[in-house]
Structure 1
């Protein structure tokens, strides 16, 4: 609890520090070096003495950090002016060699600029020197504070196991109880208290009734509301359930605040109780938050639980986490009581040891639960979904680490390392609470995404929830660092180093410059996209430019806009690219040797966009691939084949290879339909029928007119071809199919036969077949005799040998076949 309160205070202090550092930023001309010198001397004296407290050093560091920020700004401003003067001097040309004379007006101007340059460089040098001094002091202060904190954490104190300290602790507790009772008795018995309580009784009773309603019935109301919402709506139910579940914290907390207010208004308590009542809402708020987080992380509902382990394990985890929240409240109360009554280290060690031991035991049990985490319905052999399995695997690793820390912390506390033990136990608890909160928020992001889009994160496959989750992780890193001992000044120092940037080629580049570059680039990119959309949808369709030309214009404008946006973004950041010439030269070698194929395709893509030998929508053939052009980029061209598959072809192949474009310029194209007729058919009739089929088709052009070509006399038929020009060659397959149907129908009606290939089989020495049959019959007769007689086998072999020796069978094809039937 104390750690969480310190975390909230640290975040508030961080915001105040950042705002103060921004407010202290003044113009370069307003630098007061006398005040800075006084502050620097004071800081050096405090560091030399070593007696200043950490709080004093932190205050001094904040003041020095403000000066350092102003010195850095002064350097940037003055360097810009120096660069301008140097550019003016360079414009005058080089200084003449000794013995040469220069024009008087140019010489006077050069001298004037040199004087101004020397005058402007003086503040830059002073700011650089002061910046270096301030930065060194900040580093020394940080080292001193870190050393003190490390020594404090590793300090060996009294052991709580020594019985001699138990009596001291018991005496301190008795003394605190006596003081508390005496204060309360004095408040009850002071003069006028009776009349005062009677006057305030209605208000006190009202607050107490409100306390009972909010604390006792508030969680039940929230539970009923969640159930009603779950029954009535499905879309966005996770968001509304999350919002309503916050009532389990808010309503009881309001009830506690009403109770504390009622007791304080009554005036029947002393100062110690007053201080405790001031912090009571914080303690109860922490306990309620821990309990709510346990309900969200290990919920009874499988759809709500961020760690969906088996239900029995979830119930155990909820119980352990809730008890940890109560232990934190107890530790906060004892810590406050120790500060009020000034307990000694012995009493503090004895009183804190049971709480540390209890929290370590609860952590140990929670670690066992996480170590043995299995998904609901997971028997151990079958893995659940990837995301859940990864989360459970991380939970098992975390559980093992918690077990080690829970064992080490009580041992260290028993020895006397109470501070180190507190770090291991309570920092671990704070880390678990922080991580659990992050997981709950991440689940809420997924539910909100589903509410606004109507799809789950898995269904949408969107990067938005992923990016929001990444931002959430970045936001959780500073609190995590603060939990484990980092100071607010450490975080501000990291940000200062981050904002200072780094030097590349004599140019200082800061992350804010990168942010400006990104913003300008995306602004230019957005404008480019808007112009492309306007041209594609509104302007170019009203012109006579073909679709390929429109696409080329839009694509060229896109590349030009991207390159221009990049150059504008770099220029707006004030980056000097001339200092990167050597780097660019080295990269050019890499481009020449390792990226030559990519560069070749890039140049080929530019040529395709300019010359436009192919355009989007063209029907092309490249090697064995044929299809329609769907997209032309600077590296490759995508075509869609007739199988509805996409083929990516490098642009270099389109420039250097053979490409057939069937629809370049227009969709006209020639169709050739071949057909053969039997010998003896009337060739003039065949020509007339085929010409009629071609002329009657609506896709066939009459100018030029279709033509029937009598190709010649083939082996089996007389060959004809229909040759015609189609209005749209894209329909060539359908047109050829339709013409073939009409040819078959009209030839059948006219009695014209379409021949097919014919073959005759000729047998040489057919008498050998009769000899083979006789040998087989003789072998069958001998097979019935006793097996001792080997003669039948020999006769059979002799007969088969005669078959192979005396005759063979041949199959003659071709012109010898004649016109007979098969």
Structure 2
């Protein structure tokens, strides 16, 4: 209950601060701030701080007033900003005062007049600045006092709850408090007037009682059964979402029933002060219990077929639901007990003794849930063949171990006598586990909504949008987590105000408002740039005589210029002054230039490529030993797709500074060469005619200039010819060459023309040494080397060289 109260406190505080600031700002605009009233408030704050006897509640109220005043002073500081800027600009236009002090009378009088007006205009601003500084100092002093008190209370050693001497007195106090509640009812019933009023309200009391009991006893079960029925068939998104909405009735229906019972009790008119104290907290306590049970059912589902948040067995999930419900019940009972203790003003001994059993049981439940988180990690390890679980799994194990450690430590501290410290460990740990479960449920909810909206099926759960949503949910849960662990709502609102105020950058402040303005303006500019690119690419440029490369260059250049202008307009529109960064940017530019010279070189080369267009998309080029088709040209690099369908990323600097062969620059025509060899003794004129007929007959060969046949010369094994032909589209050069070779082979076979292949004769010296024909045991005399031997050796060397290079027959 304390967690919920803190949450609503911070919401109310932020709203009240906003209203107060708006009221003060409006008052400042119309009649000016009442500095007399401010002086009285500041003096009262000084007296309270000096005395140090005010309660925390009084100090918090005083602090909220000071914050409202400070917001008004902040608004007053910017009240005359346009006039001040205008006067300063006029003074600067007059130029500096001469060193000798001699200045024209008109200029001097004008300068003095402007300075007087500037001083008068700045007076309210300076007064507001001084008052704001004083308000800041007072707020800091109040925060320091409250923090010191909280620390002293947290570290103070009090009565130990395990002392048996305190148990009897605590039990008597509890019995007396319960008896007082009963006496209030009985005393009120003894009054005849009250009896008449109670009997008169019998019908509404009966209806509310029956309705409350039905909702309380059966509403949760009805909602759970309906949700399970909706999700029993399959896990498609809309069924899960509908079941989720229905499952909220597990909290809403019993809470409504409990509220109806409370209203029925109030209608009897028999409620006294003690009973009113208990009845006021019962709906909130009931909401804690039913919400904890609902979270337990969602995080630890009954059916194994559901998409589980944790990798647990059926028995472990049953234990999880039990622990979650027990945790909610214990916290709800503690909330009622604390409210009764505050009303009855129990002594510290009674509070410690009566709340300590609840604390121990809460610590036990927290520890058991922590063990389930560790069990989830162990189950994940068993299911993995190799490697380690993901980051989420490791974080859950860490949280489980932390929960066990905090639960044990808090219980020990409370038993020793540091009851406040123990409570600040155990109960926030329980709230943290509940918040963690709620965040997991919301993440799943967003995932299912995205699955339904995207229409991509189950795979949409693992896309970027649900992951980012989960990250934002985690960030959004941080303030609630801070409240759970004891941060004051005022401190949280102070951090929020500082965040909204932003950080100084030059003459401006970078705040969330500035950042949002920057993002919105840049997004609009970016979308307009994309629309203009689309219009140029699809509507305007196709109607011009520009080639595809020129059109692509214009579209790309428009995109770069548009993004640059969008960024410039966004920075200017958001009011960001980057002049203060000019010196820093100048100092860093040298180092950045050296460190990023390759990137800058590629960037400039990309711009040159887009302007000069030595290559364009679709060109067949060869660069750095890579040959392929240009697919895209960006500012930093160019993507080439080879004929093996592999993408090669070439830095733009290589295309500018290196040698590039563009096969299709300007047009697609290109020449191919088809080499042909024929046997010696063939009719060369006939060969030339056949080859010319084959070249001229191909449909891709142009006739102007006509294809030529070259008798290249006499080779070692053949007479060599070449077909040289110009093709309409050089991209088909390989296919044309292959087709011509087929036709040449067919025509040569019909005409009886032989295509030779290399032949070699091998001479062996002393062949008898190879086949072992020499007699065994006979002395072989070494032959005498002659000139003929040298000639044979040369023949063998020549044959060896021919064998190493090709087929030797």
Q: TM-score, normalised by structure 1?
A: 0.89
Alpha-carbon distance, 1:701 to partner: 1.8
CA contact (8 A) 1:28 1:70 kept: no
1:356: which partner in 2? 359
Q: Distance in 2 between matches of 1:200 and 1:549?
A: 88
CA deviation vs aligned residue, 1:675-729 (integer Å, no higher than 9, x gap): 2222222223322222222222222222222222222222222222222222221
Q: CA deviation at 1:534?
A: 1.5
**Any residues of structure 2 matched to 1:238-387 within 5 Å, and which?**
238-267=240-269, 272-302=274-304, 303-374=306-377, 376=379, 378-379=381-382, 382=385, 386-387=389-390
2:796 paired with 1:810: yes
Q: Does the aligned pair in 1 maintain the 2:671–2:726 contact within 8 Å?
A: yes
Residue matched to 2:407 = 406
Q: Using the alignment, how far apart are the partners of 1:690 and 1:470 within structure 2?
A: 73
1:86 to 78, 85, 88: 88
Distance 1:583 1:816 in 2: 71
Counterparts of 1:595 and 1:472, CA distance in 2: 38
For the residue of structure 1 that corresponds to 2:531, the secondary structure is: helix
Give the C-alpha shift of residue 611 in structure 1: 0.9
Matched, 1:522 2:508: no
Question: How much does 1:143 deviate?
Answer: 0.7
Report deviation, 1:616.
1.6
Query: In terms of mean alpha carbon deviation, does 424-433 or 745-754 score higher?
Result: 745-754
* CA 1:457–1:708: 2 relative to 1, 3 Å: same
Instruction: Indicate the SS of the match to 2:192.
Output: coil
Q: Cα–Cα, structure 1 residues 164 and 16, in superposed 2: closer, same or farther, change >3 Å? A: same
Aligned mates of 2:710, 2:441 — CA distance in 1: 80
Question: Residue 654 of structure 2 corresponds to which residue in structure 1?
Answer: 653
Indicate conservation of the 8 Å contact 1:211/1:255, yes or no. yes
Change (3 A) 1:164 1:651: same
Count of residue pairs the alignment pairs up:
797
Structure 1: stretches of 5+ with no match in the other structure:
779-794
In the aligned structure 1, how far is the partner of 2:208 from the partner of 2:505?
Answer: 66
Could you say if the C-alpha distance between residues 685 and 22 of structure 1 is closer, same or farther in structure 2, counting changes exceeding 3 Å? farther
**Residue in 2 that maps onto 1:21:** 21
Measured against aligned partners, the alpha-carbon deviations of 1:306-365 in whole angstroms (never above 9, x if no partner) come to 222233323222222221111112112222222333322222222112111222222233
The corresponding residue for 2:153 is 152
Instruction: Tell me the distance in 2 between the aligned counterparts of 1:235 and 1:368.
Output: 32
Distance 1:274 1:132, change over 3 A: closer
Distance 1:495 1:741 in 2: 81
The answer (yes or no) to whether the contact 1:188–1:268 under 8 Å persists in 2 is yes
**Relative to structure 1, is the Cα distance of residues 263 and 511 closer, same or farther in structure 2, using a 3 angstrom cutoff?**
closer
Deviates more, 1:158-167 or 1:597-606: 158-167
Q: Distance in 2 between matches of 1:684 and 1:52?
A: 122
* Equivalent in the alignment of 1:73: 75
Superposed displacement of residue 16, structure 1: 3.3
Q: Distance in 1 between matches of 2:685 and 2:206?
A: 119
What CA distance in whole angstroms lies between the structure 1 residues aligned with 2:646 and 2:337? 73
User: Contact 2:277 / 2:343 at 8 angstroms: preserved in 1?
Assistant: no
- What does 1:161-560 correspond to in 2, within 5 Å? 161-191=162-192, 200-236=201-237, 237-267=239-269, 272-302=274-304, 303-374=306-377, 376=379, 378-379=381-382, 382=385, 386-387=389-390, 390-455=391-456, 462-505=463-506, 507-560=508-561
Distance (whole Å) between structure 2 residues aligned to residue 577 and residue 244 of structure 1: 54
Cα 1:486–1:803, aligned 2, differ >3 Å: closer, same or farther? farther
SS in 2 for 1:620: strand
Q: Which residue does 1:137 correspond to in 2?
A: 138
Take 2:296 and 2:583, find their aligned partners in 1: how far apart are those partners? 58
Q: In structure 2, what is the Cα distance between the partners aligned to 1:607 and 1:601?
A: 10
Contact in 1 for aligned 2:628/2:643 (Cα 8 Å): yes
Distance in 2 of aligned mates of 1:366 and 1:510: 41
Which has the higher mean CA deviation after the structures are superposed, 757-766 or 547-556?
757-766
The Cα offsets for residues 40-77 of structure 1, whole Å up to 9 and x where unpaired, read as: 22222221122222222222222222222233333345
2:3–2:483 contact (8 Å) kept in structure 1: no
1:455 deviates by: 3.7
Q: 1:590 to 1:619 in 2, by over 3 A?
A: same
Partner residue in 2 for 1:792? none
In the alignment, the residues of structure 2 paired with residue 81 and residue 470 of structure 1 have an alpha-carbon distance, to the nearest angstrom, of 45
Write out per-residue CA displacement over residues 375-396 of structure 1, whole angstroms, 9 at most, x where no aligned residue: 5575387468844xx3332233
Question: Partners in 1 of 2:197 and 2:462 — Cα distance?
Answer: 66
* Preserved CA contact (<8 Å) 1:762 1:812: no
**Residue pair 2:620, 2:629 contacting (<8 A) in 1 also:** yes
Task: Give distance in 2, aligned partners of 1:572 and 1:579.
Answer: 17
Residue 301 of structure 1 and its aligned partner are, at CA, apart by 3.6
TM-fit CA distance, 1:621:
0.8
User: Does the CA-based 8 Å contact 1:309-1:374 persist in structure 2?
Assistant: no
Which segment drifts farther, 544-553 or 178-187? 178-187
Q: Residues 615-656 of structure 1: CA distance to partner in whole angstroms, max 9, x if unpaired? A: 122111112111111221221111111121111111111111
Q: CA deviation at 1:539?
A: 1.4
Find the counterpart in structure 2 of residue 786 from structure 1. none
- Once residues 138 and 663 of structure 1 are traced to their aligned partners in structure 2, the CA distance between those partners, rounded to angstroms, is 76
Q: 1:692 to 1:228 in 2, by over 3 A?
A: farther
Q: Contact 1:620–1:628 (CA<8 Å) still a contact in 2?
A: yes
Evaluate the alpha carbon distance shift between residue 64 and residue 5 of structure 1 in structure 2; reply closer, same or farther with a 3 A threshold.
closer
What is the TM-score of this pair, normalised by structure 2?
0.91
- RMSD between aligned alpha carbons? 3.1
TM superposition shift of 1:99: 7.3
Contact 1:762–1:811 under 8 Å retained in 2: no
Distance 1:675 1:299, change over 3 A: same
Task: Give the match's secondary structure for 2:773.
Answer: helix
Q: Which residue of 1 aligns with 2:127?
A: 126
2:255 touches 2:283 (CA, 8 Å); kept in 1?
A: yes
Checking the alignment, whether the CA contact within 8 Å between 1:449 and 1:457 is kept in structure 2 is: no
Moved more, 568-577 or 731-740: 568-577
Quick check: 223-232 or 392-401, which moved more? 223-232
**Residue 12 and residue 436 in structure 1: after superposition, are their counterparts in 2 closer, same or farther (change >3 A)?**
farther
CA separation in 2, counterparts of 1:176 and 1:101?
A: 88
SS of match in other structure, 1:250:
helix
- SS of the residue corresponding to residue 670 of structure 1 reads strand
Q: Could you report, residue by residue, the CA deviation over 1:728-777 in whole angstroms, capped at 9, with x for unpaired residues?
A: 2122222222222222222222222222222222223334446x2344xx
Distance in 2, Cα, partners of 1:683 & 1:78: 102
Q: Distance in 2 between matches of 1:133 and 1:339?
A: 36
Query: CA contact under 8 A between 2:381 and 2:389: conserved in structure 1?
Result: no
Change (3 A) 1:349 1:591: closer
Question: CA 1:576/1:88 → structure 2, altered by over 3 Å: closer, same or farther?
Answer: farther
Distance 1:64 1:591, change over 3 A: same
8 Å contact from structure 1 (residues 156, 417) kept in 2: yes
Which residue does 1:781 correspond to in 2? none
Structure 2 alignment gaps of length 5 or more: none
Distance 2:126 2:635 in 1: 50
